[in-house]
Amino acid sequence: MKMYEFDWMGHKNQCIAKEELVDGAYYRGKSRNAELDLARWDAKKEHFVYVREKFGSIFTEPISHPQDEQHFDVFRVKELVENPEFEIPLGTEELDEEKIKLARKEHYNALRAKYGEKPLED
């Protein structure tokens, strides 16, 4: 698999190159705001779509691949995800907020268990 090397915040990084990405596929990676580090590639618009929460609202937002953006937040894509925890719509479909909240809770409870902490309460 071809990788793309870039400088991010003064550090050398690499991620999956854009030409390797599959339209509609889900990927795990890093960005400042992506829920569970998950995003979906939209080849037609040449950007990722990810889910974020801000001021209590959950919504989708586009984010660029590092090959297209050098100054703002990007999705540093690391791996393909075969079975995503929730669906990220590419069009006007509605988000399943309850499924996103449940996936987030399960993710954080798994981390808490790993470090011997009590699970989050409902």
The pLDDT of residue 121 is above 80: no
In angstroms, the Cα distances linking 68 to 56, 73, 75 are 30, 11, 11
Among 63-67, 89-93, 98-102, name the most confident range: 63-67
Query: pTM for this one?
Result: 0.84
Residue spans of the domains in the chain: they are: 3-92
The pLDDT of residue 75 is above 90: yes
Instruction: Report percent pLDDT > 70 for the chain.
Output: 99
- Angle, CA of 73, 89 and 69, to the nearest 5°: 20
